Amino acid sequence: MGPILEVRELTFRYAARPQPAIRDLSFALEEGEMALMAGPSGCGKSTLLRALNGLIPRSYKGELRGTIRIGGHDPRAWPMARLSQQVGTLLQDPERQIVAADVLHDVAFGLENLGWPRAKILERVEEVLHALGIAHLRDRPTFQLSGGEKQRVALAGVLAMAPRILLLDEPLASLDPQSAQEALAVFRQLHREGHTILLVEHRVEDALQAGPRRVLYLEDGRLVFDGDPESFFERVDPTAVKVPFRVWLQRWSALTRRPTPGVEIPPASPTAPPLVVFEDVSFGYGDGPDVLRGIQAEIRKGDSLAILGPNGAGKTTLLKLAMGLLKPRRGRVWVGGKETRAQTVASIARTIGYVFQSPSHMLFAPTVWEEVAFGPRNLGRPPHQVEADVRWALEQVGLLDQARSSPWALSFGQQKRVTIASVLSMRSRILVMDEPTAGQDYQTCMRLMNAIAELVFGTAQAADALVFITHDLDLALSFANRIWVMADGQLIADGPPEAVLSDPEVMRRGRLVPTSLLEANRQYLPRTGRFMRAERLCAWLQGVGSDSL
């Protein structure tokens, strides 16, 4: 019996691009196999998945060469209804996959299109919702879901179809650490039940907990590694891929080009001038219950503030209140010494630059250049200044070479960088980013965060504070000098990373799962006095000698 999925010499070039996105890809998956696919943002992972699920060439036009076989058959001749029962895809951006007004009907959508009886549909939907731990969302309007909740609802819609092959495109990107662990447990169970799974994920350390015995690694559209995880760790550059800290230690001495440490972020000052003040703030949507309760906090000059907490804890809602996009039900929010009720969103945007969680909420222009130029033009800057700001912002996110491309032809990770550049070009005094590194490879993530930290804490001091929502604990301990943890609509912790991330009760309530880097930092904290990013901790350990390892 042959492989369930076979790809041979597959090449695809998008119609709007001069060069192929994938080149001569060849591999096969046996039925019931799980493989992890990794690689830098824009290396062709999403393009490959589009070819496997039929979106290429049906929805994305271009030049396609090579062959794909599913169960020995060419899927290009199949109708989409048949293909969807063979190959199920979880997209990177759940916004593109949510189609109904409430969770029940969204998960049932595919089965309804297949003509299943109503009773059987309801039974299957309930089964999937319980398996993913989201049965409580059954009747929730989809517009009220957090980004992570949307991700799990989209996965439920895929699983309801019971496809033979599951293509999971960055399924952990929008999930809090505990929810990610639960999702990985679901993937393990699906694998044990016989599903064939291709898991595309930048969070390699986390993804390996699902149990894949094979790693496929892409660079520049080509498959450059195909083997078991341990062989991958022996060859991988830890500055390019998010790997366990033990791999950093093993590979550190062999690195010929070690990363520059980046700007030093000083400790947060509790006496620094407040920039944003939340004064006993509560908020709820419509006539619903409060989703934020009694928030009393300040964002101060010099803060590099990471906001952590479970999906649905109110993190994004809190920042939308600061932006004036929402108004508090009770209490007051102050920005720049003025209450947000007395300011327009446009006036607040001169102080706070906000990057939304989902790129689809921001992107609209025909080219990347026009997208990034929109903000400074609206602020009335002269053309020569707009051009300088756009060029500088695109250089910061590594996308100057894509300036004339359509944002919609880019990968999710690249789209995310476009939205960040759109805010950088406005040169706001407070940079606020919702999941800035979701969908980014580790190297791009670190380069991007280094550039942003340099803006705030470097010699230019182009901004007064940095605020970012993240589910990545390593990102928080590497770039934050202050951490807020939210749970159940309340702020449950506020302090330096060393204190907040060492508190077991905060970790439990915030659904935060220690990473290998966090555990190493905790171990050496009595001697280092502070948490360090991976390369700094490796250098410190090397400097103090092998007795500390």
pLDDT digits (tens, 9 = 90+) for 21-34: 999 999 999 999 99
Q: What is the CATH number of the domain that holds 152?
A: 3.40.50.300
How do 352-355 and 430-434 pair as beta strands?
parallel
Mean pLDDT across the stretch 230-257? Answer: 86
Do 358 and 247 belong together in one domain? no
> Would residue 343 count as lying in a domain?
yes
- Two structure tokens written together for 519: 């555990």
Tell me, what's the pLDDT at 467?
Answer: 96
Do 180 and 80 belong together in one domain? yes
> Would residue 268 count as lying in a domain?
no
Tell me, what's the pLDDT at 147?
Answer: 67
Q: Has residue 260 got a pLDDT over 70? A: no
> Would residue 214 count as lying in a domain?
yes
How do 352-355 and 338-339 pair as beta strands?
unpaired
Q: Which of 79-83, 471-475, 492-496 has the highest mean pLDDT?
A: 492-496
CA 509 to CA 246: how far, in whole Å? 28
Do 62 and 27 belong together in one domain? yes
Do 120 and 34 belong together in one domain? yes
Q: Has residue 535 got a pLDDT over 70? A: yes
Tell me, what's the pLDDT at 546?
Answer: 42
pLDDT digits (tens, 9 = 90+) for 326-353: 999 999 999 999 999 999 998 898 899 8
Do 441 and 469 belong together in one domain? yes
Closest alpha carbon to 173 in 202, 213, 214:
202
What 3-state DSSP class applies to 195? Answer: coil
Mean pLDDT across the stretch 450-476? Answer: 88
Q: Has residue 49 got a pLDDT over 70? A: yes
Better pLDDT: 435 or 300? 300
pLDDT digits (tens, 9 = 90+) for 124-157: 999 999 988 899 999 999 988 876 788 889 989 9
Do 427 and 458 belong together in one domain? yes
Task: Output the average pLDDT for the chain.
Answer: 90
Note down the domain range covering 541: 517-549
Q: Which of 230-244, 269-283, 444-458 has the highest mean pLDDT?
A: 269-283
Do 229 and 296 belong together in one domain? no
CA-angle at 520, arms to 175 and 316, nearest 5°:
25
> Would residue 261 count as lying in a domain?
no
Q: Has residue 92 got a pLDDT over 90? A: no
> Would residue 141 count as lying in a domain?
yes
Number of domains in the chain: 3
> Would residue 364 count as lying in a domain?
yes
* b/e per residue 199-230 (b: at least 16 CB within 10 A): bbbbbbbbbbebebebbbbbeebebeeeeebe
Do 247 and 190 belong together in one domain? yes
Do 532 and 509 belong together in one domain? no
Cβ-proximal residues to 230 (8 Å cutoff; 6+ apart), any chain:
none
Tell me, what's the pLDDT at 325?
Answer: 93
Mean pLDDT across the stretch 174-181? Answer: 83
Do 467 and 527 belong together in one domain? no
To which residue do tokens 């991700």 refer? 151
Do 9 and 98 belong together in one domain? yes
- Two structure tokens written together for 475: 């990102």
Cβ-proximal residues to 543 (8 Å cutoff; 6+ apart), any chain:
none
> Would residue 260 count as lying in a domain?
no
CA 287 to CA 303: how far, in whole Å? 35
Mean pLDDT across the stretch 365-373? Answer: 95
Do 349 and 471 belong together in one domain? yes
Closest alpha carbon to 287 in 137, 141, 99:
141
